[in-house]
Chain A
Amino acid sequence: MDNPTAQNILSAYRPNGADSTDPVFKPALDQCANDPDLRDWLDGERAFDQRMIRSLAEIRPPANGKEEVLSTVSLNMRKPLHMFRWGLWALPLAAMLVIGLFLFSALRPAPVVWEPGEFNLASLVSGLQHLDFQSGSVVELKQFLEDRGAPTPDSLPELLATALGHGCTILEDGKGNQISLMCFKMENQFVHVYVFTEETRHYLDLPEDKWHKEKGWNLRRLEQGGYTLAIATSGRTSFLDPLFRS
């Protein structure tokens, strides 16, 4: 084996020693032991490998990346029509229509309902498992909620109105009163905004002048256009400060 061939093979030799028993590398390693030039080259190669590994290890993934994936993945897993896509393709057209209609009515997500006295915002947001509607457009989210009679302020603070939307859902309190939830993606993290009305704002026990921390969530109340908003985020809050400046 000539040195260029040995170098080619040893370029794939992992610096953590995981390949020490792989017979593919043995002839090249043996040659290294007998050839000082090749040995020097391998030492340089390993030093370079270590430097690259250290450098790439410095890359920090986004703090809430896993949480974001898990929340959106569970949403996708719950999309009923998606789950049955292939099954529907396989059926004759007539049966497909019937089953499609049945699925649409039967599997449409029902509003989340809780009993009075059970309300806890931190638990509510922690248990958030699905959204009724997903869109990056805040206007579309607002429209979805309005079309269903769910509370939405006439205007949102600029910071939210210009943010990237993520989704929304409608909750009910067991008495038929609705609370809207709008989710936004801001500064690489989720910001959840619950919209309470005159009838439901008594559930909320949150300060307006500071963040309340509970179960890993930062929670704060904001009065907006006759509605009470509850802001919830698990990450940083400093970028949300403009919301609370009158």
Chain B
Amino acid sequence: MNATQQHLHQAVHEWYDPLYRFAISLCQNVDHAQDLTQNAFHKLARKQATLRDVSKTKSWLFSVLYREFVDGYRRNVRYPSTSLDFVPEPSGEGGQEVQLSYDAKVMMRMLGELDEIFRAPLTLFYIEQLSYKEIAEVLNIPIGTVMSRLRRAKDRLRERMEELETPNPQSSHQTIPFPREARHG
């Protein structure tokens, strides 16, 4: 294995998981997330000879993935907004299905409701715990914009979470009738 291939293998092992998490948080779709992640590495394979600073591989990959997502998002063709029925992926061990916890599902759903310009910096902040400077580099936006978007994104998420977690007095006392078929067999 030559140095180029070695670098590629290392990048895949090191960055596949966080890239996939970033992708699925952006597009909320398992298949598209796999495509986005795979395409990012394909681009790396083609371009890594021109990548002058190998230490920038991580931010380069995130940046490439994000740009591809945005292109698709703006065309609104490849990654149409989906319902909130987020489907978790099978785990690596034994091929067993691992369900996300209720909390995680709620978080993912709320994340999916956010506008893409808020979702991207927030996901990078949480998944990889990228610094505001790194986020600015990946998303190609000013540092001040990163900070304000993080703030607004968190505020919106918190508001939504409070709405969901506050019991609705109307709904708690509401009688939900059985469907007709159930009542009459």
Contact = CB atoms under 8 A, between A and B. Distances in A.
Interface string A57-88: 01111110110111011101100001000000
A49 interface: yes
A2 B127 CA distance: 30
Interface string B78-93: 0000000000111111
B38 interface: yes
Nearest to A52: B126
A11 B107 contact: no
B107 A52 contact: yes
B146 interface: yes
A55 interface: yes
B45 A60 contact: no
B101 A55 contact: yes
Q: How many interface residues does chain A have, given as a range?
A: 35 or more
Contacts of B88: 58-60
Interface stretch (B4-12, B52-60, B67-75, B170-178): B4-12
A14 B148 contact: no
Contact of A59 (B5, B24, B46, B129): B24
Main secondary structure of the interface of A (DSSP, over half): helix
A62 B123 contact: no
B103 A55 contact: yes
Contacts of B46: 76-77, 82
Given A14-B129, A66-B16, A76 B90 contact: no
Contact of B91 (A24, A53, A63): A63
Contacts of B148: 8
Most buried by B among A51, A62, A74: A62
A239 to B, nearest CB: 10
Interface in B141-185: 146-148, 150-151, 154, 157-158
A68 B16 CA distance: 11
Contact of A56 (B25, B30, B146): B25
Contacts of A90: none
Contacts of A55: 100-101, 103-104, 106-108
A188 interface: yes
